[in-house]
Structure 1
Amino acid sequence: MIADEVADYIKQGESLTVEFKSDRAGFSDDKLAEAVTCLANGKGGTLLVGVEDDGTITGARPRHGDTTDPLRLQATISNKTVPPVVTEVKLIEISDKVVLAISVPQSDFVTGTARGLYVRRALGGDGRPGCVPFLAHEMLAERIQRSETDYALIAEPQATMDDLDPHEFERMRRLAGLTTSSVLSTLDDVELGRALNVIDGKDDALIVRRGALLLFGHPTSIQRFIPTHETAFQVTDNTSVRQNIFAHDPLLKSAETLYDQLQRYNDEEEIDIGLTRVAVPRMSPIAVREIIANALVHRDYTLMGPLAVRLNSDELVVENPGGFPHGVTLDNLLTSSRPRSRTLSEAFFRSGLVERVGRGVNRVYESTLRTGRTVPDYTRSDSFNVRVSLPTGSADLAVVKFIVEHDERSGRPFSLPELQIVHALLDGPRIRLGELARITQMSETATRSTLTRMVESGVVELRGNGRARQYTLTAATYRKLSSKAGYVRVQDFEPMQQEQMVLTYVRAHGSISRREAAELCAVTSESAKALLQEMRKRGVLNLVGERRGARYVIPDTGRAQ
């Protein structure tokens, strides 16, 4: 952190991630620890000591004799916070005043001071950011959000076995009997609850946890003990509502019911591939099952609001209360898995309603792309709700045929990254490695390995060299995708586009070298040489200089024209 950066923070004023503290009257180490925990319990940020609330720089006093030792202050902060917060302290001089700039990371755990004080950064009643008390129910919700506490393991003292429905235990046994967890199908109700870790205690004093109520509870008991749980299923046709159902059913029943309701609207198209007739559903059953299971397992049960499933002619939208679990973002959705409740997640896995714990989103993506549709859309999610949209319009049957034929011919089905790359290159004919790595959410090294495999199999081809390398689909792939014109457009338009790019560059910079032309047009050095020589032959460019000093310029007549 440098002086200009700190000055910019001060100029912009306080925010949820920037806090000013005056040190004119003395800002004690205990107060400093409190301010650090406040930011750590929020989104992290920067604490500036020696700055007034209005942005006036008054300076921070020395803390260790005649100076302030940043490393010693970092150790003090760590010792006065629980769990210890590791900060970075710097002394920044601005306008002949010293400001303490303390970088505070967002904590993975609810953090307090060694004296037992818990605060968090939030907007106050006046609409301004500040430190407010971290209340018990807020702390519970935050601990669940950060996967510190499993909501399903919280005991419900007033609940008994009478609040649980024997039919739901039987449902679990039936589902488990179809999976590798078939041992669960042999257990009685109490043993089954204990195996899932949602019932505890001795037979004469059983402890019923909230997970047991969510999985096996009577609807009336769920409404009594967990009133936040509710599901809503809605089907609309333009502006009219065809179906609108609300329920407080336990989770396994909710999952099966919502899935069956959607399947009634899951029409199919058919396509002939060789001698086989392949059905292409409006919604991938795998995607539907995984999305519903994910929403039920990962929703925040401390928040009010139903899990909403809405279907219309264009999309299926599933929305559940609570943002992504701590550490999960749109940029790592496919590579990061942090279940809000590991107990519920494990129960769904052992029931067979999900096939692999932590891989649900990947399966949603893969199965949707295989039906010839675009990727699921999570971009409308925020810190309060997760919203996923599945396209339900007409499928691209040529893409479906291409995928099925490739899998049969190669004996190895396309992986999810390969499917993402094919769809991405259909939308953007030439894409660089870095962008494809962002799309697949893999490292550039892993993405390059995937692309190498696709080049070797004839699906993708590489154009250009060095940093100018780009990938595109091959002519054979375009043919199989019933888009012969696509490859022609990519290839035949290039010389004209490249020539215009070169001329624009020369007009802007006066000249161009072969290396610069190769990088500009994303082609090899030899291709750039051929392009420049052709333009020189036609009198569009002139060559000046020799060998490494050779550059191409626009003739005076060409410049005038």
Structure 2
Amino acid sequence: MKLLFDHNSWTPRSRNIRIVFERSRTQDNMYPIYEIDDTQAANIMATQENYLNDVKAKEIKPAKLSDTISAFANAAGGDVYIGISEDKTTNTRNWLGFNEPEHANDFFHTLFQAHPFGNHVKFEFLRNKSHPGLVLHITVKKVKEIVKSSSGEIFVRVNAGKQKIDTPEKIKRLELDKGIITFENEWVEVSLPRIENSLSILNFLINVIPTGEPLTYLNNQELIKEGHARVCGVLLFCDEPAVFLPKRSSIKIARYKTKDDDIGREFLDGNPVTVEGDAYNLVYNAVSETKKIIEGIKRLGEEGLESVEYPEEALHEVITNAVLHRDYSIVADVQIRVFDNRIEVESPGRLPGHVTTANILNTQSARNPALVRLINKFPNPPNKDLGEGLDTAFRVMETLRLKPPIIAEKDASVLVIIRHEALGSPEELVMQYMETHTEITNSLAREITGIKSENSMKNVFIRLKSRNMLEPIPERKGSASAWRKPINLEQSNTNSDE
């Protein structure tokens, strides 16, 4: 099948392709062939090999390729391009693809022998009139199950290479990372009265139908046994879970007086706040403490310096998500960092199962299903709408015309950034300010737009000047320089009104 596409920039991990639908079908090829232009071909040859991308010559052994596919599928997924050769002496790459699609059959056979269903791979060929042959593009999806190579070995993608998972400890770590097993089911030695007589279990049972005795309920849910409780039970029904799960069941909140990404202790404002308690109260108390810190931040607004406000609903959903879906096998607390222009919530553990930063709003995979299910039975549960979570945070930010949250996956954690930046171009934000003010300086404009560089902000002013929307105030020079609406334009508008 041949598909011709009209798209201006085809780049790795970019799949927004507009189909022109000029098709011809061949009976001997079951995978699509995409015609791409010279710029797109150059982009593929220049692909940087990293955590999400790799290029291989067509001479690679199918078994070696299966190692790479295993590594990608067991990490965050990625893209592999077969048919790009590399000259090590000149450090250059060349497009040397397959003469016919059938010449890649050995790769298909090997990969499907390892995994007959092949639900983690998608194949397509790329053709360019200026270069010989077809490049095979393999899109590897992150899946919940462990994907082995054709030799039965397990690999994980690390930076631009792969790491063999060859010990029971490493395999268990991978199973925890992928959500195949969950640490919430592990047993913790604990004094059972600390759970069955806690305020948490009493508050919980008020909302459970039929109401029963704490000990009976805990036994029926298989959350306790003699002298032990599951991690899930400790998190939910112990008033002080940090006693039994230190560095796993608290939230640290720190205030940094800066907008910079590169932070140090010199920017730390006071001592970090530690929030503890059962998972239900942990969420609500962390939201409350974070709001108190935010209320102390001032930002330039229409009436001068105003208190910064973040939508509480967005903050609540992000913190709830961090508590309910974190990896409790990792000895680290949830971190909340409050900056002048953003809030960062970092949750221990990578995204579970098939979840990626690209599909997180459209898919579900609960790492701690019992925790999610049981906390939803509390009165006024923090996760009122199961499956909504971060989706709600995005909608709330959009409603308030604030930029959407950023979700990033790090080596051993997930970072969500809620920015206090208006949704709109810098030019729009500057002109909105000028509707109620007579002048604006570079520093004020950077405060409004979130732009960090003085030169970048100057370029915004220059663009507005070229459109006759702003002009520099002639008598204001150097550090006192400022901009205003053009005087001639103001006078023209006044005369027309008369």
TM range (shorter): 0.5 to 0.7
Distance 1:138 1:240 in 2: 36
- Residue 299 of structure 1: aligned partner: 326
Note closer, same or farther for the CA distance 1:319–1:46 as it changes in structure 2 (3 Å cut).
closer
TM-score, length of structure 2 as denominator length: 0.56
Q: Choose from 355, 372, 375 the match for 1:348.
A: 375
Task: Give the drift of 1:45.
Answer: 1.5
Task: Give the drift of 1:171.
Answer: 0.8
- Residue 130 of structure 1: aligned partner: 161
Does residue 361 of structure 2 align to residue 361 of structure 1? no
Distance 1:57 1:147 in 2: 40
Matches within 5 A, 1:1-150: 1=34, 9-10=44-45, 12=47, 14-16=49-51, 17-21=53-57, 23=59, 28-42=61-75, 43-48=77-82, 51=85, 54=88, 68=102, 70=104, 73-81=107-115, 84=118, 85-88=120-123, 90=125, 101-109=136-144, 110-123=146-159, 129-134=160-165, 139-140=171-172, 142-150=174-182
Task: Give the drift of 1:386.
Answer: 1.7
Distance 2:83 2:198 in 1: 58
The count of corresponding residues between Structure 1 and Structure 2 is 368
Q: Choose from 142, 145, 151 the match for 2:183.
A: 151
**Paired residue type of 1:231:** I
Matches within 5 A, 1:237-386: 241-246=269-274, 249-262=277-290, 282=309, 284-311=311-338, 316-322=343-349, 334-351=361-378, 352-364=381-393, 373-375=400-402, 377-379=404-406, 381-383=408-410, 384-386=413-415
Task: Give the drift of 1:133.
Answer: 1.0
Task: Give the drift of 1:346.
Answer: 1.8
Please say which structure displays the higher CA radius of gyration. 1
- Residue 234 of structure 1: aligned partner: 254
Q: Going by fraction, where is helix more abundant, 1 or 2?
A: 1
Q: Choose from 235, 247, 259 the match for 1:214.
A: 235
SS across alignment from 1:78: helix
SS across alignment from 1:31: helix
Task: Give the drift of 1:343.
Answer: 2.4
Matches within 5 A, 1:474-513: none
Note closer, same or farther for the CA distance 1:251–1:93 as it changes in structure 2 (3 Å cut).
same
**Paired residue type of 2:183:** Y
| Bigger relative contact order, structure 1 or 2 (CA pairs below 8 A, ≥6 apart) | 2
Distance 1:286 1:263 in 2: 11
SS across alignment from 2:383: coil
Note closer, same or farther for the CA distance 1:31–1:380 as it changes in structure 2 (3 Å cut).
closer
Write the deviation string for residues 181-203 of structure 1: whole angstroms up to 9, x where unpaired: 522752424633643xx627xx5
Query: Which 5+ residue runs of structure 1 have no aligned equivalent?
Result: 124-128, 269-279, 394-422, 430-482, 485-499, 502-561
Distance 2:85 2:235 in 1: 50
- Range with bigger deviation, 51-60 or 228-237: 51-60
Distance 2:383 2:170 in 1: 31
CA contact (8 A) 2:319 2:345 kept: yes
Distance 2:125 2:335 in 1: 48
- Residue 182 of structure 1: aligned partner: 208
Distance 2:398 2:128 in 1: 55
Write the deviation string for residues 512-548 of structure 1: whole angstroms up to 9, x where unpaired: xxxxxxxxxxxxxxxxxxxxxxxxxxxxxxxxxxxxx
SS across alignment from 1:389: strand
Task: Give the drift of 1:340.
Answer: 3.4
CA contact (8 A) 2:196 2:214 kept: no
**Paired residue type of 2:69:** V
Write the deviation string for residues 141-187 of structure 1: whole angstroms up to 9, x where unpaired: 5544544443323x33xx3342783278541440452xxx5227524
**Paired residue type of 1:295:** A
**Paired residue type of 1:357:** L
**Paired residue type of 1:306:** D
Task: Give the drift of 1:73.
Answer: 4.6
SS across alignment from 1:112: coil
SS across alignment from 1:186: coil
Note closer, same or farther for the CA distance 1:190–1:367 as it changes in structure 2 (3 Å cut).
farther
**Paired residue type of 2:376:** F
Note closer, same or farther for the CA distance 1:424–1:375 as it changes in structure 2 (3 Å cut).
closer
CA contact (8 A) 2:56 2:81 kept: yes
Task: Give the drift of 1:89.
Answer: 6.4
Query: Which 5+ residue runs of structure 2 have no aligned equivalent?
Result: 1-33, 259-266, 297-306, 429-434, 437-465, 468-498
Distance 2:197 2:293 in 1: 26
SS across alignment from 1:353: coil
Distance 1:73 1:61 in 2: 12
Distance 2:50 2:345 in 1: 33
